[in-house]
A and B are shown apart, each in its own frame.
Chain A
């Protein structure tokens, strides 16, 4: 019988997928292991030096920054979410999606924009002085933005959507029954928020705040422009200005410790959220009509974070970019940067999506402890700040390059130098490690919506495992793959810290160009690059808004 002969390779197809998934998980794990190893190997004297000098300041600043940003994001996110779900007023629908817009503005761009907007001789301060009757910045100026307070405020106003999204979803899906029950139990309308809605939303707030804080930890531009010396900034300067890799690795380890705390609290909150949302199936929440005057007040309240977090900086960028284009046109340098940015992001997206597909599909073909672990390990990078990943990759590829160099020198008498590190491979590696969670997670979620009986049906109808993947899984998870691809692409475009550390010599992207000019205090062409990043950043916001509409009444 022919089929019997064909079948000697019993589970080989599934095994091949599993091996691929394992390899990918290994590659993701590698930089973290290298970091650990490097940090442990660093001399003991270095640790004590670090503890006495860099670490105390960096840790203090990081903790203060995180506390402040967490507080602002929680308050703004929860308030706005309640506003648009509990009340109905003219403009509510628009606010619902517009509140997502600050997601399009990376932290370093908001800092860059506001440094100029609020400059002592800038438009806002000038207007304030004119109003108050002062003539020179020497007589009157607003408190300097370059401070911890300024940094906290700015980060809080771009990162609050991370809280807004889960909390709004919670209010939409959870509260209706419980709020009605509370009303029948004698709780007045005005007390509902404090007595029922807020306690209910607590897990969602925790999830959102941890995500916002991971973003804040990842930030390098805003903190540095505003003079806040966080751990992330310390890692960067330790490596770039002092070339001290073990030192950078050790600070990175301290940063990772904070990340672990954040991830743990997020997991814990998610666990609670799942518990409470499975408790009952709910109708949508019926928002309450309010008087026109109160409606206007609510609208203005909801508008404020959008103005601060998106409209003002975006308008500023548009104006500045327009002036620049009027004055000098688009320089060839801008076009090269565009090619670099889009090219690197596209390559990284393809790599990340392919890896995500492999990891997620291996889990479907060979469900079990191994594939589950591979999936978990490959998503390790989602919480790790770009600097941490970059330092880890520097160690790995540096070792690898030295190995090649030594081999080449001893065998052929040629020194190869830093082949891999000098190429874009390092950067693509970093992007993949950072964003594989988005792709693997999204694709896995998409695949899990396809019933297993489809696989079996396709197999009994004569398709192999690979054919089943091609004709059933791929077409049915197209939407999930596309969405994941878009998110990864945009995140690659926005990514700053890893790009700064790992880009090949003289290769500039939009983000690094902007960083360079802001760090030097020049603002020549950066506004065009910033505007381009924000424009690309709006794409996933549109996607999110459309997803949100499905669940909203």
Chain B
């Protein structure tokens, strides 16, 4: 886990917000170091976008404290208007002003600065993002990817202390999305920008951020690197958010979870004989040609391209086990042997 910097660029302390009866944010605390790229991830309605809007100051908080570079911007004793926060924001719909050209959109955030420096800054940012040729175009004349870059240029032009991005890639086609994301993130890394980005896509979250913050129902579930969240989730929700596990019921005994398909060593903070659930990654189960301890009947198969997903009926289990394999099975194969790699398994107390 990357430790948060000593002088965080952004700090949230016990932030809460409710809309009527619904709690949008519930006691959220988080510190973000300068130059860090943070991914807020969660299902829709988990409060991630609300959190972003609080940081920007376009919405207020009910309780807690938000500090930008150590100064209180939202809290009991102060509220800094969004225009005074030095924050860049890239919106999901880009929010490019339709009555202004790309250049005028960028100039919008540079009002009140000396003329010469403004012209230099516009040229510089257009060059950085690589959209000089779009300077005089209006937003409706731009493709999705171009609009995204124009929005990024506009947000970065005033040199914000921190850049907020709300699902910035979700409006792009799949192929384009990966490319634009890679380009954008490496650019932001090079510029050393502090970024808080919101996404609902688990893969994007794991690949994009230095740190990932998983949220659920207004609370932070887990914070850490992509590896932490994927490999060492703190609870079943975090586990299942990033991977579709096979769940096998069992019992916890002497450091093992005992199930119908074998014993697996796991240290759980549980009493002897309490019910536990074993979580097995579909790609952690391999097929064996030799006779194996564990056998099953192929129930259905779905070919996905690189891998094939099999549902294998195993005696003693109600649900078939899902297996993702790159091995090719001969057509008509009925019975297969299965080998489960212990490191692909997690265990939690039964819910």
Contacts and interface: CB of A to CB of B under 8 A. Distances in A.
B176 interface: no
Given A1-B71, A457-B89, A460-B56, A7 B95 contact: no
B95 A6 contact: no
B192 interface: no
Given A453-B91, A475-B99, A460 B85 contact: yes
B158 A462 contact: yes
B91 A463 contact: no
Given A4-B80, A453-B91, A460 B58 contact: yes
A3 B80 contact: yes
B237 interface: no
Interface in A415-464: 451, 453-464
Interface string A92-106: 000000000000000
Interface in B84-100: 84-85, 87-89, 91-93, 95, 97-99
Contacts of A11: 60
A4 B72 contact: yes
B79 A7 contact: yes
A471 interface: yes
A542 to B, nearest CB: 24
B78 interface: yes
B75 to A, nearest CB: 10
A453 B84 contact: no
A7 B76 CA distance: 12
Contacts of B250: none
Interface string B176-212: 0000000000000000000000000000000000000
B109 interface: yes
B95 A453 contact: yes
Contacts of A8: 78
Interface residues of B, number: 35
A189 interface: no
Contacts of A3: 71, 73, 80-81, 84-85
B97 A459 contact: no
Contact of B92 (A453, A461, A463, A475): A453
Contact of A462 (B72, B92, B93, B111): B111
Given A456-B53, A471-B108, A4 B78 contact: yes
B81 A460 contact: no
Interface in A1-58: 1, 3-4, 6-8, 10-11
A472 interface: yes
Nearest to B96: A457
B58 A464 contact: no
A295 B79 CA distance: 69
B82 interface: yes
Contacts of B88: 460
A459 B95 contact: no
A476 B58 contact: no
B154 interface: yes
Given A453-B91, A460-B56, A471-B108, A476 B99 contact: yes
Given A460-B88, A460-B89, A462-B109, A454 B95 contact: yes
A461 B91 CA distance: 12
User: Which of B57, B78, B111 has the most chain A CB atoms closer than 10 A to its own CB?
Assistant: B78
B78 A457 contact: no
B89 A7 contact: no
B188 to A, nearest CB: 17
A464 B58 CA distance: 11
Interface of A: 1, 3-4, 6-8, 10-11, 451, 453-464, 467, 471-472, 475-476
User: Which 4 residue pairs spanning A and B have beta carbons closest together?
Assistant: A461-B109, A3-B84, A453-B95, A459-B82
30 contacts: A1-B80, A3-B73, A3-B81, A4-B71, A4-B78, A6-B84, A7-B79, A7-B81, A7-B84, A10-B60, A11-B60, A451-B93, A453-B91, A453-B92, A456-B56, A456-B95, A457-B89, A458-B108, A459-B56, A459-B58, A459-B81, A460-B87, A460-B164, A461-B83, A461-B109, A462-B83, A462-B109, A464-B81, A476-B97, A476-B99
Given A456-B89, A457-B89, A459-B82, 4 more contacts: A459-B56, A459-B57, A476-B97, A476-B99
Interface of B: 53, 56-58, 60, 71-73, 78-85, 87-89, 91-93, 95, 97-99, 108-109, 111-112, 154-155, 158, 160, 164
